[in-house]
Structure 1
């Protein structure tokens, strides 16, 4: 590229706090189309994924004359001591401890794009953070950011896998960086640790069984997967926590990723009683807010059942009259496990009598059947 050297771009990226940067060929994703088609046949796709494999491997759908893809990564492996202030707590994934990473990455990429534009005025580019169908981990791999772990995440030897990824498509050619060879060896700790065995075999993850997805899934969660959620309210870090590379990964001083209002161990009772205003204040600034308040409350209800926590009962009862069919249904489900049998039967029958929504009514009927066995 005549207007700027790759090393100059990397140096500027480092100067604005980007931890890792690399360059991938524009056509690096084409070879993944067959894998995506096979994965679809196996039923491993989840509902939040793009279903058209062509869009997942074709950056030209976004920038027609793309010549290179710049991949960046920010570590969120911050130094923070987790404290428990309430025995009735739910677990928040590390990816949602601080400010919404989408905002942080977009700001970094905006600065990088402005720099590129100042050096190459004729360049066209598009920056991306999760708002696109492309296989961003595959892009990061081909850009030399790290290798694929057996859990499907990108692992960097210095920073581990606690990485937020972003991409810039640009219509200028850069010499690609070299992909890294895997250093996982015969380690299979992530496979063994996965609570749902979602890592079907090395490098193959069934997204529908992954608890990170389950916490943001709409509607009803299968009973067996509900049990596996434990206390999880948003996300799952289990496969990353056992990874040897994460145990020795470099810590970063990045205040924006430190917890503020939303603590890593957050009160279930506070979640159950959240108003819309409180949800916006507590969860709103983080990456965990995008599915909305009702999904978060549903997960708290499930956590109460998994903990057999009867402190939650009176708070759960209120949701039998919620505006949300999801919460009405899940309240009945929870009461069938936590409330005294006679009381639960009475309350659920009364709620079912007035219920107009099919989803909520079905969950109430199932709760009654469970109690009447």
Structure 2
């Protein structure tokens, strides 16, 4: 990179931005590779408050210092790829055929794959012109904070709902970044565009948005639907029929309301995957699960969370026709988390058949937590 002046890097950056749409990238901007010092302070406070999800990279230095990933890093290329927000020809949810819903970020092809492919094409484009370039791509599972990079690069501002909100695409975007040793001119961050609006905070079903840009992940439905363990009664009621993720704080955002980007075919949803029938999920084996959901990012935690959330959905629908299916889980499923959730669902449905299933399962059950769930479900019936 000897003998390349500021004018060269400015022209190269312009060519890179111009090439982005042809590489499947909707927006591209640049920031420096300086440490994210303010972010580190926020993350420390976040941890002290017990607001982490548990899915994050635990080393805060790795999350905030690009030089730990590339010693001679000079710049970070931030990208955004838009995904659809509307489900066209959505199947109807009706008694006996109740349906769950995946969050919009899980509707199409697994975004990790979609973005990695685009960043590989971006890297190839750069290397063809500058073979000496060093490039390290990250998306979501990388240690760096995608949102912090995108905010500083000016892709969008950090909304009160903790999403990056781009002026053109709203927050319906996947984010990724490429750390590089190329000294590209940095873009400026954008001013806050939320103003006095608090619709996202007001609409959060569980109060997980504890302040502007402050999320208690332990109460966030999106994170709870991805856990594998037992879920408290309060949270199960709030989950509704969500199988994976939660879009409430994005749906109510005024910037997002009329945005529905559909020009990436692999990100378009299959309605039967995005809004699947709940009852068939309960008996679905691993092979069938992978065939149906394997190309979606919702599959990353396996079938247990999806099946547990399907039971929650049937309970919240009070779907009487599903009682035999739910009772079969309570009697025969080897996983205590699912048996306990089935007991809760039968209690919510509350018909005579559901109550009888709870009573008949009790003598055969050995797990203490499942027995406690059956007790709670029966006690709730006695109180009614």
Under TM normalisation by the shorter chain, which class is it?
A: over 0.9
CA distance in structure 1 between the aligned counterparts of 2:86 and 2:341, rounded to whole angstroms: 36
- Taking structure 2 as the reference length, what is the TM-score of the superposition? 0.90
Per the alignment, in what secondary structure is the counterpart of residue 179 of structure 1?
coil
Contact 1:102 1:129 in 2 (8 A): yes
Query: What are the superposed Cα offsets for residues 191-249 of structure 1, whole Å, 9 maximum, x if unpaired?
Result: 11111111111111111111111110220112111111111111111111111111133
Q: Please, which of 338, 341, 353 is the counterpart of residue 330 of structure 1?
A: 341
Matched, 1:351 2:361: no
CA distance in structure 2 between the aligned counterparts of 1:257 and 1:207, rounded to whole angstroms: 26
Q: Please, which of 53, 68, 71 is the counterpart of residue 75 of structure 2?
A: 68
Unpaired runs of 5+ residues, structure 1, are none
CA distance in structure 2 between the aligned counterparts of 1:157 and 1:184, rounded to whole angstroms: 11
Contact 2:157 2:165 in 1 (8 A): yes
CA distance in structure 2 between the aligned counterparts of 1:250 and 1:363, rounded to whole angstroms: 42
Residue in structure 1 matched with residue 40 of structure 2 by the alignment: 33
CA distance in structure 2 between the aligned counterparts of 1:9 and 1:122, rounded to whole angstroms: 16
In the TM superposition, 1:76-87 aligns within 5 A as 76-77=83-84, 80-87=87-94
Q: Please, which of 291, 294, 301 is the counterpart of residue 311 of structure 2?
A: 301
Residue in structure 1 matched with residue 223 of structure 2 by the alignment: 213
Structure 1 stretch displaced more, 302-311 or 328-337 = 328-337
Residue in structure 2 matched with residue 156 of structure 1 by the alignment: 166
Per the alignment, in what secondary structure is the counterpart of residue 249 of structure 1?
coil
Q: Please, which of 227, 250, 263 is the counterpart of residue 240 of structure 1?
A: 250
Residue in structure 1 matched with residue 62 of structure 2 by the alignment: 55
Per the alignment, in what secondary structure is the counterpart of residue 167 of structure 1?
strand
Unpaired runs of 5+ residues, structure 2, are none
Q: Please, which of 277, 291, 294 is the counterpart of residue 284 of structure 1?
A: 294
Contact 1:348 1:368 in 2 (8 A): no
Q: Please, which of 302, 315, 318 is the counterpart of residue 328 of structure 2?
A: 318
**CA 1:295–1:80 in structure 2 vs 1: closer, same or farther (change >3 Å)?**
closer
CA distance in structure 1 between the aligned counterparts of 2:178 and 2:115, rounded to whole angstroms: 11
Structure 1 stretch displaced more, 357-366 or 173-182 = 357-366
Aligned residues: 370
**CA 1:345–1:14 in structure 2 vs 1: closer, same or farther (change >3 Å)?**
closer
Contact 1:56 1:133 in 2 (8 A): yes
Per the alignment, in what secondary structure is the counterpart of residue 267 of structure 1?
coil
Distance apart, 1:80 and its partner CA: 4.1
Contact 2:273 2:292 in 1 (8 A): no
CA distance in structure 1 between the aligned counterparts of 2:297 and 2:369, rounded to whole angstroms: 28
